[in-house]
Amino acid sequence: MEVDRTGLQSDSTPAGPVRTCIGCRGRDSRSTLLRIVAVTDDRGHTTAAPDPRKRLPGRGAWLHPDIACLDLAVRRRALSRAFRCRVEGTDALRAWIEGMGSTTDRFSTATESGFDADEHPMSTQQ
């Protein structure tokens, strides 16, 4: 049991479906991981593509939306094992992750509200 910032004990397992990141092999909830799928083009080349809506058909794998986890998955050849075919490119996946990193940086500078701002969950004081 872990103690969260409110002082309450919480389970270390996340709620909901749990998946394993193919990069770092860490277990996390499905909502925090990015689903990736193997896409084959008309020339027969297979690449890894992001599936943020988690709706594309085919075999999927799960990855933290982090460049370090992607690099680790490529180095360990985890993409080819997860998709059970040779994956030749990760450019679209890398571009999507880098694009998401820049958008989260923009939103992290916004003013905080609620519990994060002054430790009162319903307070509007700054």
Residue 101 parent element (H or E) = helix 91-108
C-alpha distances in Å from residue 116, one per residue of 5, 23, 35, 120, 123: 10, 31, 29, 8, 10
For residue 7, what pLDDT is reported? 58
For residue 16, what pLDDT is reported? 83
CA distance 91 to 1: 40
For residue 49, what pLDDT is reported? 94
CA distance 22 to 81: 9
In-domain check, residue 2: no
pLDDT, tens digit (0-9, with 9 covering 90-100), for 46-62: 999 999 999 999 899 99
In-domain check, residue 49: yes
In-domain check, residue 71: yes
List the CATH number of the domain containing 20. Answer: 3.30.1230.10
Read out DSSP for 40-94?
E-TTS-EEEEEETTS--SS-EEEE-SSHHHHHHHHHTTHHHHHHTS---B-HHHH
In-domain check, residue 34: yes
- The dihedral built from the CA positions of residue 84, 35, 66 and 4, taken in this order, carries a sign that is negative
For residue 100, what pLDDT is reported? 86
For residue 94, what pLDDT is reported? 94
Q: Is 16 helix (H, G, I), strand (E, B) or coil?
A: coil
In-domain check, residue 47: yes
In-domain check, residue 55: yes
Domains: count for the chain: 1
In-domain check, residue 42: yes
For residue 110, what pLDDT is reported? 45
In-domain check, residue 65: yes
pLDDT < 50 regions, the chain: 105-112
Q: Structural domain of residue 79, as residue ranges? A: 8-100
pTM exceeds 0.85, yes or no: no
C-alpha distances in Å from residue 59, one per residue of 49, 72, 103, 110: 12, 20, 28, 37
